[in-house]
Structure 1
Amino acid sequence: MKSAHIPAGPVKLACQDLWKIYGVKPREAAEIARASRDSQGKPGADRAAHQHIAAVAGATLDIHEAEIFVLMGLSGSGKSTLLRCLTRLIEPSFGSVTLDGEDLLMADRRRMTEVRRKAMGMVFQNFGLLPHLTVLDNVAFPLRVQGIDRATREARAREMTELVGLRGREAQYPSQLSGGQQQRVGIARSLAAEPEIWFLDEPFSALDPLIRRQMQDEFIRLQKILRKTIVFVTHDVQEAFRLADRIAIMRDGAIVQIGTPAEIALAPANDYIAEFLRDVPLLKVIRAGELMTPSSDSERPLSVFSVDDTLEELLPDLLGGSGTVGIRDAADKIVGRISASDITRLLRGDRAALA
């Protein structure tokens, strides 16, 4: 499993007061944004009274290096539009977007093309594979566009194809692959150019539930190896809470809450989010490192789990008579303990257990 804690690394990508307003001229966007905030005290506009639509309304966020940052919301909430504004596939109306401190909204077309080719990898719901190219050639295509010689790009493509579990299928065509295999090709292709930041927009939503779960497992495995900075869009609550380091929940173009899965599950910002998360089981969301009592005892308990394991994974040992389990960090050092009574207090609503 993976950590739900905010990475300690520097900010990789950020946006400040970002808007995308349809139905107005660019010079009017700033005035509308200010009027919307002034009249309601927060981003958002009375759409019935105006001839414009704020698809993204005042979004502000920081995304850290090696963090999986999930944009979540219902259909029409603005999450995919926000992702496209961050990459300037859609031109924002107002605000700022910075990548490693560079203001992307000041970049000309040539510079943005260079940034997308070298710094950004993208995976979308529709796999977008070229039907006349083999798996290997599809994966190597971004490198071909960059003008990299054939031997080098094919070597890199073979490496990525093996990484996503498609070794032996390099000569096959997309029509010969299952949906899950096609999505793996799309993932391999997006990684071929070694992007600094990885954008995924509903990448698994077109897949059957079983294949979707397998692809989530694959995604977690790849992130352990690659440690990419990732922006992941989904409308699926379970998927978001399973994959995310932090989540931004959107509604009507605005971000209504940002936090770790545990923070959001235990302290929803409003009734809308509480209802949205009603069916999210805490034991699948809270991780051992968020509930443990710090301990540096030299005596190693019989059962030991990672700080990244969910409480659900601890239950069999706790209920089987262990009473208390040890929690280890990435260096295999015991850093804390959790007892069955800790979990009982949490389920009874004692949020102080996470203090």
Structure 2
Amino acid sequence: MARHGLEEAVPDDATDLRLLAACRDQGDQEALVCLRCRVSHPAVRALRSFHRRYATSYGLDLLEMAVLVLDDRGDLYPYASPQVQREAATPAIRHEPFLLVEVLRTFKPGFCGLPHWTKLRIQACGELKAYLKEHGLLLKSDWSLLADSSGKRVREAWSLYGRGSLQPDQAVALLKAYQPLYRQAKEAFLAATGRSSGWRPSADFLQQLSREVSTPVLADDLSAVAQAVRSFLVGPRGAFQPFDEGSEHLVAGSHDSLEELEADQLPAAEQRRLIDAALKRAMDAYLPTVLASSGTNPSLVHCLWQGYGDGLSNRPNAERCGCTPGTVSKKLTPELHAHRLALSAAQELQRHGAFAAIGQSLEATERCVTALKNHLLNPEREGEEAPMRFWIRTYLSRP
């Protein structure tokens, strides 16, 4: 980095900005390598810290987690400016950028430093969240989990996993009273602290929730409902150790579901029929090409997709096909494919008048795509198959 005068530079925000400018404006590969090191170190620290806390309870493998976050093809072009991409001998990126490049591409100087931005982007890594959920760990605090749950979900969860004196109707009523107060309290917390995580219900909050029930009982009831929802989403093992949103570990975003999709003046059954039809058409058009693109080891990839279709998680799938769990993650990338399928289905749905709201704002579109993707990857009820696994298993079983 001598030509930038940074050979003895200590990493700091000013150095990061100079390197970022060299990458964007000059297409400097050496500067990009330096930035990747700058990004990878806080990423490794975050993963190690998270692994130490949860590995014993949930059987997490640090190497598998690292593969999902740190794997990187080393391309410059997804991060360089459009002009640099046009002038480069190598064409612009033709595949989805890996996480480290995505950290650099989306970095917003002035918002925070690059190390902290790295942690924020890791928390949104869909493949990592899917891996953790597969092991029974849902990265949401009890309080945000309740805020993102519907009455239907809480009723079903409490009926199956509820532990306490509440009846299902009472659990739903508690949720409905909690959610608007939660939104107000979170906005006030963010304004006062500048942080979006770490909020907990205070005594004043609980008194607003109900003056007829003591605050300790209310706190216990809210926690019990949250644990029922957690068990409903990831199985009873998800109640090993509730995730603490106020810790210094990873924090996840919203887990939207189809229940949050609204279609104006459309019965629920018809809404679901349209959603399922759009997703099926997207899978019929896209997934056969994915399954046919077997790369350098077609028999291995075929075996891995068969295992995925049969419902195997990464470790047993790797044992079945004679490879490492990291290879499974690299070869299949179901999160990436589900995201593309969800985008295709969302584009079709918003052309239907009842779903027109999907395209009216970026937030509405993102929520729709997230809900569709989660629906593809996760069964709605215990014992059911995830739609994407079912489609792949059915397709591969054809003669």
Interval of TM-score (by shorter of Structure 1 and Structure 2):
under 0.3
Structure with the bigger RCO (C-alpha within 8 Å, sep 6+) is 1
Q: Is the helix fraction higher in 1 or 2?
A: 2
